[in-house]
């Protein structure tokens, strides 16, 4: 995988709905109209929710609406050795530390006066070795293993987004690997593995839903720590359901197969949702797509 590239990276926890397909189409359009390769990555590290059958169905659905991909499909579940190696590298550089806090501990600390909403207050960052030994023993007695956090030395970080422009957000010491049960490694965190996957694949353009904009500064900060170029970010509007909330399967027939059963031409509907009612296929849309034409407002799907 060399040269500039974009990507789409779904989690195989069920069939893609119209909002997912629209974002995938936008990622493909941005890549193809700027001369980039386009890769597909299956983010299947959550063994409790992911399934190979779901991944195969998602790939079939993406291809059926007109998307094509370069190279082989990458599965995160086959890259654990790489994630462990990067984690070891960061630890060797003194950039990680164990965190013994429970979710309740963090929620209570975050609700204290002068705490940034949702941020980790650094409770375990500066513990002495004797304090760490004591806390480690306490969580072990509870059958838990500590999580690993990144030691962040910048209170805020700024990125440049295609639509949002300069965007700055505070960065806390975010989790790289979650705590698990004793003897079992915890899951790797999304903000950790997505940076490695994009960096290793040479992804220089990340197109995704604008609900993920707030996480981009964290990822850009980590990319710089690891020596990866920071990609161009393009956060695009979401699809809303009839009630004005983010589209979800509770809104009825919203997956490709369900819509097809009702006789809906899904590629044409995607073209219409992007402001091109004259186009009926993504191939046609590719010939006329102009990023500046895309509405910054979410699109509401009304069955």
Annotated ligand binding at 271? The verdict is no
Two tokens, residue 239: 């699809």
Annotated ligand binding at 119? The verdict is no
Annotated ligand binding at 72? The verdict is no
Annotated ligand binding at 97? The verdict is no
Annotated ligand binding at 296? The verdict is no
**Over 222-289, what HEC string results?**
HHHHCCCCCCEEEEECCEECCCCCECCHHHCCCEHHHHHHCCCCHHHHHHHHCCCCCCCCHHHHHHHC
Annotated ligand binding at 99? The verdict is yes
Contacting residues for 148 by C-beta, under 8 A, at least 6 apart: 87, 91, 96, 97, 98, 99, 175, 176, 177
Annotated ligand binding at 228? The verdict is no
SS3 content of the chain, % helix, strand, coil (to 5): 40, 20, 40
Q: Which residues are registered as beta bridge partners of 206? A: 233
- Rounded distance between C-alpha atoms, residue 281 and residue 218, angstroms: 36
Annotated ligand binding at 41? The verdict is no
Annotated ligand binding at 217? The verdict is no
Annotated ligand binding at 89? The verdict is no
Query: Which element (helix H / strand E) includes 74?
Result: strand 74-75
Contact 179, 147 (CB under 8 A): yes
Annotated ligand binding at 216? The verdict is no
Annotated ligand binding at 32? The verdict is no
Site of tokens 């915890």: 186
Interior CA angle at 240 toward 238 and 246, to 5°? 80
Two tokens, residue 242: 């009839």
- The dihedral of CA 59, 61, 64, 68: what is its sign? negative
Binding region for L-glutamate? 7-11, 43, 190, 208
Binding region for Zn(2+)? 99, 101, 120, 124
Binding region? 7-11, 43, 99, 101, 120, 124, 190, 208, 249
Binding region for ATP? 249
């Amino acid at each position: 995988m060399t040269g500039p590239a974009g990507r789409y990276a779904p989690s195989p926890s069920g069939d893609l709905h119209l909002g997912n397909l629209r974002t995938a189409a936008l990622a493909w359009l941005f890549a193809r109209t700027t001369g980039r390769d386009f890769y597909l990555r299956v983010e299947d590290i959550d063994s409790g929710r992911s399934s190979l059958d779901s991944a195969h169905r998602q790939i079939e659905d993406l291809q059926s609406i007109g998307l094509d991909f370069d190279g082989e499909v990458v599965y995160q579940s086959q890259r654990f050795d790489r994630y462990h190696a990067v984690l070891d590298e960061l630890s060797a550089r003194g950039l990680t530390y164990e965190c013994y806090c429970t979710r309740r501990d963090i929620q209570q600390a975050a609700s204290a006066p002068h705490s940034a909403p949702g941020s980790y207050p650094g409770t375990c960052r500066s513990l002495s070795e004797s304090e760490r030994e004591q806390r480690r023993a306490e969580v072990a007695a509870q059958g838990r293993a500590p999580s690993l956090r990144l030691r962040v030395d910048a209170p805020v970080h700024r990125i440049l987004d295609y639509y949002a422009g300069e965007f700055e957000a505070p960065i806390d010491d975010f989790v790289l690997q979650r705590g698990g049960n004793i003897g079992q490694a915890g899951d790797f965190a999304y903000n950790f593995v997505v940076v490695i996957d994009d960096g290793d694949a040479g992804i220089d353009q990340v197109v995704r839903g604008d609900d993920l904009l707030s996480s981009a500064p964290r990822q850009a900060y980590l990319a710089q720590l690891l020596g990866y170029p920071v990609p161009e970010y393009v956060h695009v509007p979401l699809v809303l359901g009839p009630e004005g909330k983010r589209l979800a399967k509770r809104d009825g027939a919203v997956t490709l197969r369900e819509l097809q059963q009702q006789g809906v031409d899904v590629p044409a509907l995607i073209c219409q949702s992007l402001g091109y009612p004259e186009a009926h296929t993504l191939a046609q849309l590719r010939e006329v797509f102009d990023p500046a034409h895309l509405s910054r407002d979410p699109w509401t799907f009304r069955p």
